[in-house]
Amino acid sequence: MTRPNVQPPGTMRLADSGRRLQIIVLVIAFLLSLFAGRLLQLQGVNASAYAAQAEEERRRIVTLPASRGDITDVDGVALATTVEARDVTADPSLVTDPAATAAALARLLGGKAAALEAKLRSDGRYVLLARQVSPERARAVLALDVDPDQEGQQLPGIFAIRAHKRVYPSGDLAGSIVGFVGRDGHGLAGMELAAEDRLAGRDGRATYETALGRRLPSGATDAEQPVPGADVRLTIDRDVQWMAQRTIATKVTEVAAESGTVVVMEVDTGRLLALATAPAVDPRRPGDSPAADRGNRSLSEVYEPGSTGKAITAAAVIEEGAAGPRTKFTVPPQLYRGGNEFNDHSPHGTLKMTLAGVLAQSSNLGTILATERLGKRRDEVLHHYLQAFGVGQPTGLDFPGASTGLLPALADWSATTSYTLPFGQGYSVNTVQMASAYAILAAGGVRVQPSVVAGWVAPDGSYTPAPAPQRRRVVSESTADQVSRMLEMVVGEGGTAPNAAIPGYRVAGKTGTANRVDPQTGGYRGYTASFIGYAPADDPAYVVAVTLQDPTRGYYGGQLAGPVFKEVLSFVLASERVPPTGTRPPAMRLEW
Amino acid sequence: MSTAPLQEPTRRPPAVATPERPRLAVVRPQPGSLDRPVRPGRAPFVLLVVGLLAAGLFVLLMLNTTLAENSFVVHDLQRNTAELADREQALQQEVALAGAPHVLAERARGLGMVANTNPVFLDLRDRRVLGVPQQAVAPPPPKRKPRRGSSDELLRQLARTGGAVQFAPDEVRKARQGDR
């Protein structure tokens, strides 16, 4: 086209409409394809991931805490249980009048108003004001009204959060067995720790959908119910435990002893009815007790038993046929053995005693002489029987902090070991081990493994008894009976503990006044006074073992531990309804 | 697209004269006949839809109201239950404490009772006494200050408790001394 390019000024050249349309279509197509691609990506490729993410945004997961099982005594009375409680918290930024709020809270929650006010004035948006308040009190706190002019205006910024609280309805009763829990509600000591797995149960979860903070009624809900913990039923009898605990605590104070323990054991079953210690921990305030008092001394504290160990020696000698209750001994004022001089607790001339007399009078020298009748096998025999009676062996109780004590291996024996072991020095035991050793004699020579757990109550209420205790014969029935007869002499006229006798009952027992190893220096300092026995002697039902560590007003086992033994055993016989057998102990010569 | 026609349309051959035919016209069916039903007015349909919508809204409103109402009831009942459960829990704890051995022992002592230290049984079949009965000895009086119990106070206590009087240890002792 060769038209002269004359264009009037001010007129634009019209664009090529076809071309423009093409470009627009291309741009739109490009944009649309982008959208389509994104759509494909959202709905096709990543669809499930995004759907899940969206659901995640709507979903709220709440932990449903499993309720902790109770710890009950043998009758099912709760010694430890869990109740609902509230933690009172505050958001200081919402508190309008810290002074008045603190004053009002202090009246209900206890504590100092100034301390609460300081918390309420602190920065941040969360302070804990009081832990584990009862729900009723928490309700009262929330209903508090600081400013009476503003009707319906309650304490702003104060909240009560649902919590659980472990309570011990019987107070410090059996605290040293039950143990206690930490702030997180998990066991730290005693049965609370030993049975943690079964007590705790398993937390559940509830999942539901929310929108704008509200729960969607039609949304999917999915709840995994918590599995509550099982209840532990102990073999402990609340009344017996209380009696034992009170008696030993009184005695420990009276004789200014460092500590004391009482163990009550059922002969036929090995069940422990009481494991009392003094000083005892209060599970409600474990922090108030020094660390040494927070466990159970009857299992954790080991000591040299002293004369109570002579019953084991007597059983060994009789079982091996080396001597009998009537075997005659001439006991000199002192004996020289292994390069050492051995004496009795009080000086005496040459005495003519039977084995029964040696036990009744608790003669160290007589015991040494008796073991010498064993001949060359003496050391092996002693070691074997001490071990068989449970010295240095685990008791079979699964309890935190339990100690097995120590029985030196034969190879480690020094020249004197073989002469101190017969009268109970040179090896160490805990009170439960000693009670168990006497239970062997009481049960006719059979060892029944001691137990503290009677069974488990599942959340559905079904009861599963603990497995039957292991039984093992240690000495013959005849040997056990002969030792029993001799032990009856101890509480008789010529014995060392006439004040352990219970009128009307045949009581067998043995005193112990042992040199005590000072835990600090490792040398001997102070005494361990003890008494272990059982009744009725001809049909034993219960063993009671009493130990007093480092008494400072008097130290003889018969005088200090004997009366505690008598009081506790009398109570056990009465409350467990064990009548006297009505027989008389056979006469037995103590001297010749 | 504006592509110009490449060639002129071919001219049609000249029309051939055709014989005259009668003109045809579409016959409209008579109203009411099968082919043409009477069409109702639009108004009823609109009313129906509006009515349905209104009814739906109303039902929805009622549903919401009921739900809200019920949730209030549920909330109240839940609070009630929680309160009762808390109360039950508190009472159970009180009962447990009241039944604890040390509390019972303290109350028994407060009533002037003395623990039997020597177990004795009575066999009802042959009326035999098993064991050796011994007189229970009262422990020394507690160190805490005994309450002063005048007769007036006791009478007031009687009236208040309907007959149950808790004797302070010194009253019991006084009464015992009077017996001798």
Per-residue pLDDT of chain B (180 residues; tens, 9 = 90+): 445 555 555 555 555 666 677 788 877 767 666 666 667 778 889 999 999 999 999 999 999 999 989 988 998 998 899 889 888 988 988 888 888 888 898 899 889 888 887 888 988 898 888 888 888 777 776 555 445 544 455 555 555 554 444 444 454 444 444 433
Q: How many CB atoms lie within 10 A of CB B21?
A: 6
**Per-residue pLDDT, B37:** 64
Are A169 and B100 a contacting pair at CB < 8 A? yes
Are B101 and A135 a contacting pair at CB < 8 A? no
Mean pLDDT of all residues in chain A?
88
**Chains A, B: CB pairs < 8 Å:** 77
Chain B interface mutation, best of A73, A216, A570, highest count of B Cβ atoms under 10 Å:
A570
Nearest neighbour of A173 by CB, restricted to B67, B101, B130: B101
Q: Is A33 a catalytic residue?
A: no
Are B67 and A139 a contacting pair at CB < 8 A? no
Mean pLDDT score, A102-110: 83
Nearest neighbour of A169 by CB, restricted to B83, B87, B96: B96
> CB of A173 within 8 Å of any CB in chain B?
yes
Helix (H, G, I), strand (E, B) or coil at B50: helix
Mean pLDDT score, A252-278: 94
**Per-residue pLDDT, B167:** 46
> In the predicted model, is pLDDT for residue A414 greater than 60?
yes
| A299-314 pLDDT tens trace | 999 999 999 999 999 9
Nearest neighbour of B2 by CB, restricted to A18, A139, A238: A18
> CB of B80 within 8 Å of any CB in chain A?
no
Cis peptide bond prior to A536, omega within 30° of 0: yes
CB within 8 Å of B57: residues ≥ 6 apart = none
**Per-residue pLDDT, B24:** 83
Chain B interface mutation, best of A505, A539, A578, highest count of B Cβ atoms under 10 Å:
A505
Number of H helices, E strands in chain A: 18, 22
- Region of residue A307 (phi > 0: left; psi between -120 and 50: alpha; otherwise: beta): alpha
In this structure, of A133-142, A397-406, A521-530, the range with the lowest mean pLDDT score is A133-142
Contact A563, A509 (CB under 8 A): no
In this structure, of A166-180, A209-223, A487-501, A543-557, the range with the lowest mean pLDDT score is A209-223
CA atoms of A572 and A562, how far apart (whole Å): 15
pLDDT-derived band at A5 (thresholds 50, 70, 90) equals low
Tell me which chain A residues have a C-beta less than 8 angstroms from the C-beta of B105.
242
Q: Does residue B104 sit within a domain?
A: yes
pLDDT-derived band at A217 (thresholds 50, 70, 90) equals low
> In the predicted model, is pLDDT for residue A465 greater than 80?
yes
**Per-residue pLDDT, A390:** 93
Are B101 and A243 a contacting pair at CB < 8 A? yes
Are A78 and B116 a contacting pair at CB < 8 A? no
**Per-residue pLDDT, A139:** 84
Determine the residue of chain A that is closest to B67 in CA distance: A217
**Per-residue pLDDT, B141:** 64
pLDDT-derived band at A218 (thresholds 50, 70, 90) equals low
**Per-residue pLDDT, A499:** 87
The 3 state secondary structure assigned to A185-223 is CCECCHHHHHCHHHHHCECEEEEEEEECCEECCCCCCEE
In this structure, of A146-160, A186-200, A464-478, the range with the lowest mean pLDDT score is A146-160
Parallel, antiparallel or unpaired: strands A78-90 and A127-133: antiparallel
Mean pLDDT score, A345-349: 88
Q: What percent of chain A has pLDDT over 90?
A: 51
Tell me which chain A residues have a C-beta less than 8 angstroms from the C-beta of B93.
83, 167, 169
Contact A145, A91 (CB under 8 A): no
Catalytic residue among A67, A289, A298, A307: A307
Are B117 and A78 a contacting pair at CB < 8 A? no
Q: Does residue B98 sit within a domain?
A: yes
In this structure, of A284-293, A364-373, A423-432, the range with the lowest mean pLDDT score is A284-293
Annotate A107-167 with DSSP letters as a single string. Answer: HHH-S-HHHHHHHHTSSSS-EEEEEEE-HHHHHHHHT--S-TTSTT---TTEEEEEEEEEE
CA atoms of A419 and A411, how far apart (whole Å): 15
Sign of the CA dihedral running A95, A98, A102, A103: negative
Residue A148 vs residue A381, higher pLDDT: A381
Residue A190 token pair:
């005693």
> CB of A70 within 8 Å of any CB in chain B?
no
Contact A386, A367 (CB under 8 A): no
Residue A394 vs residue A12, higher pLDDT: A394
pLDDT-derived band at A185 (thresholds 50, 70, 90) equals confident
> How many domains are contained in chain B?
1
Are A136 and B123 a contacting pair at CB < 8 A? no
Strand partners, B128: B123
Nearest neighbour of B89 by CB, restricted to A83, A242, A503: A83
Q: Does residue B176 sit within a domain?
A: no
Which of A146-160, A330-344, B9-23 has the largest mean confidence? A330-344
| A21-62 pLDDT tens trace | 999 999 999 999 999 998 888 888 888 888 888 888 877 777
**Per-residue pLDDT, A585:** 85
CA atoms of B61 and B55, how far apart (whole Å): 10
Q: Which backbone phi and psi does A193 adopt, to 5 degrees? A: -90, -45
Contact A296, A177 (CB under 8 A): yes
Are B1 and A574 a contacting pair at CB < 8 A? no
**Per-residue pLDDT, A212:** 67
Measure in Å the smallest separation between the Cα of A292 and chain B Cα atoms. Answer: 25
- Region of residue A427 (phi > 0: left; psi between -120 and 50: alpha; otherwise: beta): beta
Q: Tell me how long chain B is.
A: 180
Are A580 and B101 a contacting pair at CB < 8 A? no
Annotate A468-527 with DSSP letters as a single string. Answer: PPPEEE-S-HHHHHHHHHHHHHHTSTTSS-GGG--TTS--EEEEEEEEEE-TTTSSEEEE
Domain that holds residue B97: 43-109
Nearest neighbour of A503 by CB, restricted to B90, B100, B134: B134
Strand partners, A159: A89
Are A136 and B118 a contacting pair at CB < 8 A? no
ipTM confidence: 0.72
Tell me which chain A residues have a C-beta less than 8 angstroms from the C-beta of B117.
567, 570
CB within 8 Å of A535: residues ≥ 6 apart = A502, A505, A506, A507, A508, A541, A542, A569, A573, A578
Tell me which chain A residues have a C-beta less than 8 angstroms from the C-beta of B102.
170-171, 173, 242, 246
**Per-residue pLDDT, A118:** 86
Measure in Å the smallest separation between the Cα of B5 and chain A Cα atoms. Answer: 17
Residue A83 token pair:
């109740």
Sign of the CA dihedral running A316, A321, A326, A329: negative
CA atoms of A192 and A331, how far apart (whole Å): 52
**Per-residue pLDDT, A435:** 96
Are A567 and B117 a contacting pair at CB < 8 A? yes
Are A217 and B67 a contacting pair at CB < 8 A? yes
Strand partners, A336: A341
Determine the residue of chain B that is closest to A77 in CA distance: B96
> CB of A482 within 8 Å of any CB in chain B?
no
| A475-491 pLDDT tens trace | 999 999 999 999 999 99
Nearest neighbour of B117 by CB, restricted to A84, A570, A577: A570
Q: Does residue B31 sit within a domain?
A: no
pLDDT-derived band at A319 (thresholds 50, 70, 90) equals very high
Residue A85 vs residue A432, higher pLDDT: A432
Q: Does residue B50 sit within a domain?
A: yes
> CB of A134 within 8 Å of any CB in chain B?
yes
CA atoms of B38 and B35, how far apart (whole Å): 10
Q: Does residue B72 sit within a domain?
A: yes
Q: How many CB atoms lie within 10 A of CB A289?
A: 19
**Per-residue pLDDT, B179:** 38
CA atoms of B71 and B73, how far apart (whole Å): 5
CB within 8 Å of A307: residues ≥ 6 apart = A362, A364, A423, A424, A510, A511, A512, A513, A514, A557
- Region of residue A76 (phi > 0: left; psi between -120 and 50: alpha; otherwise: beta): left
Tell me which chain B residues have a C-beta less than 8 angstroms from the C-beta of A84.
85-86, 89
Helix (H, G, I), strand (E, B) or coil at A82: strand
Are B93 and A505 a contacting pair at CB < 8 A? no
Tell me which chain B residues have a C-beta less than 8 angstroms from the C-beta of A217.
67
Nearest neighbour of B1 by CB, restricted to A18, A84, A217: A18
Tell me which chain B residues have a C-beta less than 8 angstroms from the C-beta of A82.
none
CA atoms of A310 and A304, how far apart (whole Å): 12
> CB of A83 within 8 Å of any CB in chain B?
yes
- Report pTM: 0.77
Are B102 and A239 a contacting pair at CB < 8 A? no
Q: Does residue B87 sit within a domain?
A: yes
Cβ within 8 Å of A, B 45-74: 67
Tell me which chain A residues have a C-beta less than 8 angstroms from the C-beta of B67.
217
Residue A281 token pair:
């921990």
> CB of B125 within 8 Å of any CB in chain A?
no
pLDDT-derived band at A238 (thresholds 50, 70, 90) equals very high
CB within 8 Å of A437: residues ≥ 6 apart = A311, A312, A389, A390, A391, A429
